[in-house]
Structure 1
Amino acid sequence: MSLDDFSGNPEGAVAKQADWLKRYQPSLHIVERGSVVSVGDGIVWIRGLPSAAMDDILTLDDGSSAMVFDLTEDLVGAVLLHETDALTAGTAVHMTGRTLSLPVGDALLGRVIDPLGEPLDGTSPPHPSAWQCLEGPAPGITARDFVNQPLYTGIKIIDTLVPIGKGQRQLLIGDDGLGRSALALDAVINQRGKGIYCVYVLIGQKRSTVVNTIETLRNYDALDYTTVVVAEASSLPGLQYLAPFAGCAVAEFWMQQGLDTLVVYDDLSTHAKTYRELSLLLRRPPGREAYPGDIFSVHARLLERSTCLNAVYGGGSMTALPIVETQQGEISSYIPTNLISITDGQLYLERELFSAGFRPAIDIARSVSRIGGQAQHPRIKEEAGRMKLDYLQFMELEAFTRFGARLEASMEDAINRGRVLREILKQDRLEPLSEQFQVAWLLAFNDGLFSGVELEQVHQRLEVLRHKLHDSTLSLDSPREQWRDMLRQWLDLSEGE
């Protein structure tokens, strides 16, 4: 009963109170209460709470919060989600009876949040349309559809030779400093105006890297359709572990609404190291390279949620671009091999190519897209054809020329053609290109419009195509003859000029 019940009609309020007292039945209300045994390095050990289950959220009397991460016979191990300076041994701990979730919906577009959904951009908290659990089951087989729609990154070498489809999981792998994050940013920037919602997850990155990424997205008007989830290097290890799951949950909500999404995990090597740190602090037995035995299942559980749903389940898709770091190009180390086996292909960046000035430094020989070809547009697929194989053969032939071997005229032509193709495939970062441009240079190259062109003039002719296509009405489905006539006209005019 409240005091408001006595205002206006005191006699009626008294009668209601009497009825309530007659119906009242006292009962025993039991609340579990634990206490902190020790705290340090983002881990808190708790005694008590016999009903605690994995992933339960706990609140502490000092204002901190934690998530159950390990259960032993006597103690509960939890990772801190929020820590105050007053947290010490003996602090009381209470169960909330809920698992971790975060706000999702269109209100997150253009926002920078932490893995708990709290704003990091200095503005008011978003007003969500729903809440989504960070952990959730991957869609079942009956809910999935074949990958059948292309996702264009705007990068020539990817969209033509190693294509990506909506709902695919394509790994970006290579040493540090070779442009893995630049490829991911190009892919996000290229989704402007295509109706694809993007989520960029930054895991354990320096603050300067976080700021540069956000500013790049803002400068290219990509922040309007992107949510940035940040757990920087100075944040608690528990938040760094949860960051990719938070980004996945944000994108998963849009996928369930029938929308196409793209999520970037930058990067899962740092995520694996954070999980190893937490596991060792929780006294779990280490395995290979001191990683816990379930590190494979952690990443599989995350990446399996990316898929293409069929029409019965809304027809949405979630494309994943996980990033992983190698050391000295060692692609067979533990975490890279795990992720290669989970994903649908990989883009391998090689240091020698980068040092030689070939950028993006994607090694075609080690890069593969297992299902992207099924989603590739028929025109691009037809023109790309055997280009990848021819390019690999050119690289082998070029190796013989280093020893001064004499080659036949046909071999010389193949080498010259390969060198022109290699020059065409070079591309500066943050300059994504349209799919019409991909068709244009493919047709021009296959029809011999680049034959006899000096390498220094290749980019000039590509700029002509790019400029002419800007005002052209040609589409991917335009007849090949129309494409060919226009390309010859444009390039013949530029050559005359």
Structure 2
Amino acid sequence: MIPLGRGQRELIIGDRGTGKTAIAVDAIINQRATDVICVYAAVGQKASTVAQVVDAVRRYGAPDRCLFVIGEANAAPGLQWLTPYSACTMAEYFMGRGRDVLLVIDDLTKHAAVYRQVSLLLRRPPGREAYPGDIFYIHSRLLERAAKLAPELGGGSLTALPIAETQAGNISAYIPTNLISITDGQIYLDPRLFYEDQKPAVDIGKSVSRVGGKTQAPVLKALSESLRLEYAQFLELEVFTRFGTMVDERTRKVIEHGKRIRVVLRQPQFAPLTLGEEVALLVALSQGVLDNLPLERIGDFLGGLGAWLRTDCPEAAALGDEARPLSDDLRARLTASLNALARTLGPASQGSQQ
């Protein structure tokens, strides 16, 4: 629902402890099967937090293609201020040599606070919310280094995932609005969704990618076009029916289908899906494969999907980024395979297992 292309700047924004770093780390881990170089810049983070990120990449990702540039919370303000610039310079080095690079800056809210600290020590006049007047220029000059170079310039790319922290969900504060206006879109994480165990806690209403579906694999774009609308309709109906209102059969089916979309959109940490698995899940939703499956069994469906596809429908499991929209024949075979998997988890088999 939120396409991200190489050379793009996509802001990850939300309150503290809502999973912003987790999304960025999963994006790094998801590059393990590619040749993308990942650079992680930690600005003002605790040493224990950085150690968890490094350990996760070592265990689940490709650490031989990852660089970590760290300005810890106890480092000098000047060093913390230089951290994202140092990381971006390293990323540009590889981009200039035709490589694709993913840069994560965690986070620019702390970077703005450090820059304010340095500026006040230098007796520069403070502006709005005591931040220096050039803080917008500082961050825009940094993030505008993200680009996709033309083939005659080497064809390299630098994709930036800056992170920003909000206070009580206030995305209209000074630094968040600055960064939203600089970047190509934002992924907003809602604390309410996080505490309801909907992880990643992405609010689809406030999240957007201004680049659009042109950056997606054609097969994925064809299947995901209506997903945001279906999910938004479900959320609206769910609020309406919480008051105990009687609903007709059609509305009940929309709500039950929406609940399955919500379960499918949940994702365990450090376990990014392959394109084939994403396509299979979207086909399962669009063809109603999950509608008759009990909600408590959908987790088993998701857990066994990868192994099932590799043995029962290997052509779908092997789909790559250049894959065209599914042919009628492959869609029919994939749907039949998914129905077979769902039957093994249906109410009848569940009862026999018990």
TM bucket, shorter chain: over 0.9
Alignment pair present for 1:318 and 2:166: no
Going from structure 1 to structure 2, the CA distance change for 1:350 and 1:221 (only over 3 Å counts) comes to closer
1:244 to 84, 98, 108: 84
Q: What is the match of residue 226 of structure 2? A: 386
Superposed CA deviations along residues 59-114 of structure 1, whole A, max 9, x for unmatched, are: xxxxxxxxxxxxxxxxxxxxxxxxxxxxxxxxxxxxxxxxxxxxxxxxxxxxxxxx
Would you say the 8 A contact 1:358–1:426 is kept in 2?
yes
Q: What is the match of residue 315 of structure 2? A: 473
What CA distance in whole angstroms lies between the structure 1 residues aligned with 2:287 and 2:51?
Answer: 45
Aligned to 1:473, the other structure's residue is in SS state: helix
Would you say the 8 A contact 1:464–1:490 is kept in 2?
no
Would you say the 8 A contact 1:172–1:347 is kept in 2?
yes
Superposed CA deviations along residues 429-460 of structure 1, whole A, max 9, x for unmatched, are: 11111111111111111111112211111122
Count of aligned residue pairs for this structure pair:
337
Query: Deviation at 1:261?
Result: 0.5
Aligned to 2:39, the other structure's residue is in SS state: strand
Pairing of 1:39-58 with structure 2 (within 5 A): none
Q: What is the match of residue 423 of structure 1? A: 263
Q: What is the match of residue 254 of structure 2? A: 414
Q: What is the match of residue 395 of structure 1? A: 235
Would you say the 8 A contact 1:449–1:488 is kept in 2?
no
Superposed CA deviations along residues 474-496 of structure 1, whole A, max 9, x for unmatched, are: 32446342143134134325514
The one-letter amino acid paired with 2:175 is I
Query: Deviation at 1:374?
Result: 1.5
Aligned to 1:263, the other structure's residue is in SS state: strand
The one-letter amino acid paired with 1:449 is V
What CA distance in whole angstroms lies between the structure 2 residues aligned with 1:174 and 1:348?
Answer: 6
Gaps of 5+ in 2: 350-354
Structure number with bigger Rg = 1
Alignment pair present for 1:491 and 2:336: no
Would you say the 8 A contact 1:173–1:324 is kept in 2?
yes
Q: What is the match of residue 34 of structure 2? A: 194
1:434 to 274, 279, 285: 274
Alignment pair present for 1:275 and 2:118: no
Would you say the 8 A contact 1:268–1:324 is kept in 2?
yes
Aligned to 2:257, the other structure's residue is in SS state: helix
Q: What is the match of residue 6 of structure 2? A: 166
Query: Deviation at 1:385?
Result: 1.4
Would you say the 8 A contact 2:280–2:334 is kept in 1?
no
Alignment pair present for 1:369 and 2:217: no
Once the two structures are overlaid, the 10-residue window that deviates more, 269-278 or 438-447, is 438-447
More strand by share: 1
Going from structure 1 to structure 2, the CA distance change for 1:406 and 1:256 (only over 3 Å counts) comes to same
Gaps of 5+ in 1: 1-160
What CA distance in whole angstroms lies between the structure 2 residues aligned with 1:490 and 1:395?
Answer: 26
1:285 to 103, 115, 125: 125
The one-letter amino acid paired with 2:303 is E
What CA distance in whole angstroms lies between the structure 2 residues aligned with 1:290 and 1:246?
Answer: 26
Would you say the 8 A contact 1:175–1:349 is kept in 2?
yes
Q: TM-score, normalised by structure 2?
A: 0.92
What CA distance in whole angstroms lies between the structure 2 residues aligned with 1:491 and 1:226?
Answer: 40
Would you say the 8 A contact 1:443–1:484 is kept in 2?
no
Once the two structures are overlaid, the 10-residue window that deviates more, 322-331 or 381-390, is 381-390
What CA distance in whole angstroms lies between the structure 2 residues aligned with 1:298 and 1:395?
Answer: 39
More helix by share: 2
Aligned to 1:162, the other structure's residue is in SS state: coil
In the TM superposition, structure 1's runs of 4+ consecutive aligned residues that sit over 6 Å from their partners are none
Pairing of 1:72-151 with structure 2 (within 5 A): none
Would you say the 8 A contact 2:301–2:341 is kept in 1?
no
What CA distance in whole angstroms lies between the structure 1 residues aligned with 2:310 and 2:158?
Answer: 30
Query: Deviation at 1:241?
Result: 0.5
What CA distance in whole angstroms lies between the structure 1 residues aligned with 2:302 and 2:123?
Answer: 58
Superposed CA deviations along residues 403-427 of structure 1, whole A, max 9, x for unmatched, are: 1112222111111110111111111
The one-letter amino acid paired with 1:488 is A
What CA distance in whole angstroms lies between the structure 1 residues aligned with 2:315 and 2:114?
Answer: 51
Q: What is the match of residue 341 of structure 1? A: 181
Once the two structures are overlaid, the 10-residue window that deviates more, 282-291 or 450-459, is 450-459
Superposed CA deviations along residues 29-54 of structure 1, whole A, max 9, x for unmatched, are: xxxxxxxxxxxxxxxxxxxxxxxxxx
Would you say the 8 A contact 2:40–2:105 is kept in 1?
yes
Would you say the 8 A contact 1:464–1:491 is kept in 2?
no
What CA distance in whole angstroms lies between the structure 1 residues aligned with 2:75 and 2:62?
Answer: 26
Would you say the 8 A contact 2:28–2:61 is kept in 1?
no
Q: What is the match of residue 352 of structure 2? A: none
What CA distance in whole angstroms lies between the structure 1 residues aligned with 2:122 and 2:53?
Answer: 33
Q: What is the match of residue 404 of structure 1? A: 244
Would you say the 8 A contact 2:190–2:201 is kept in 1?
yes
Q: What is the match of residue 303 of structure 2? A: 463
CA RMSD after TM alignment: 1.4
Query: Deviation at 1:209?
Result: 1.2
The one-letter amino acid paired with 1:179 is G
Q: What is the match of residue 445 of structure 1? A: 285
